[in-house]
Amino acid sequence: RRLVVLISGSGTNLQALIDAQNTAALPNAQIVLVVSNRKAAYGLTRAASANPPIPTAYLGLQPYLKANPGKTRADYDIEVARLVVRAKPDLVVCAGWMHIVSGGFLDVLKGTVVLEGEDVLGREIPVINIHPALPGQFDGAHAIERGFEAFQKGEVEKLGVMVHRVIAEVDRGEPLIVREVEVRKGEELDEYTRRLHEVEWEIIVQATRKVLDEVKPSYSSSDFQ
């Protein structure tokens, strides 16, 4: 089964998927493309240094808008979707993709919009996202810091991480895997963050496997090697 992973940063969640692909943790699955919206994302280096190397693509929003006057963020999202569809994935994993995907992006991946010049896959490509908060908590960026602060102020009882299906509203899709991460007494943010990331690296592999097991690949990956 074919995975496309979208990243923007250090790519430690991507690394967890690279290490798990084609192992008992994530059998018969390989990452066929990594897309980043940030040129400096270390995740691009992780993909290139994988064995075998994983193809990467960089498409930044601002450079795209500058190079295409009159085009909008929605057009950019369509170009990202085009890159993704061309890789013919069975699943797209947003692993630290710091960009709110638009409805247009999802329409292409759902198959409700076919891009001219692109093969028609005739099936929906599911999209999942990892978010370092519990369902309904701290949507958007800096969720870890915001959660940690709220916990210290007694505004929340519990913190955690989840992988959820991606829908048009940010961080609001159906949760697939949710794990609480308790804050230890007197623990600093950096220690808590480190422990939270370790939980992320587990659930991103588990959630990917869970969704792939639901997906009937319409072709074997050898068709495209």
Residues tagged active-site: 131
Which range, of 7-15, 49-57, 117-125, 205-213, touches ligand GRF by CB under 6 A? 7-15
Q: Per CB under 6 A, which of residues 91..130 are in contact with ligand GRF?
A: 95-96, 130
Which residues are CB-contacts of 69 (< 8 A; sequence separation ≥ 6)? none
168, 98 contact by CB (below 8 A): no
Measured CA to CA, the distance from residue 36 to residue 58 in angstroms comes to 5
Minimum CB distance to ligand GRF smaller for 7 or for 125: 7
The distance of closest approach from Cβ of residue 33 to ligand GRF in the complex, given in angstroms and rounded to an integer, is 16
Q: Per CB under 6 A, which of residues 14..43 are in contact with ligand GRF?
A: 14, 43
The distance of closest approach from Cβ of residue 20 to ligand GRF in the complex, given in angstroms and rounded to an integer, is 14
Please give the backbone phi and psi of residue 110, each rounded to the nearest 5 degrees, phi first.
-75, -15
Residue type, 36: S
Q: Could you tell me whether strands 91-94 and 2-7 are parallel, antiparallel, or unpaired per DSSP bridges?
A: parallel
The distance of closest approach from Cβ of residue 130 to ligand GRF in the complex, given in angstroms and rounded to an integer, is 4
C-alpha separations of 80 from 34, 37, 58, 93, 205 in Å = 11, 9, 9, 13, 23
Q: Does 206 bind ligand GRF (CB under 6 A)?
A: no
Minimum CB distance to ligand GRF smaller for 11 or for 173: 11
- Residue 164 forms beta bridges with which residues? 129, 175
Q: Per CB under 6 A, which of residues 66..95 are in contact with ligand GRF?
A: 95
> Cβ-closest residue to ligand GRF?
96
| Positions in the binding site for ligand GRF (CB under 6 A) | 7, 9-14, 43, 95-96, 130-132, 200
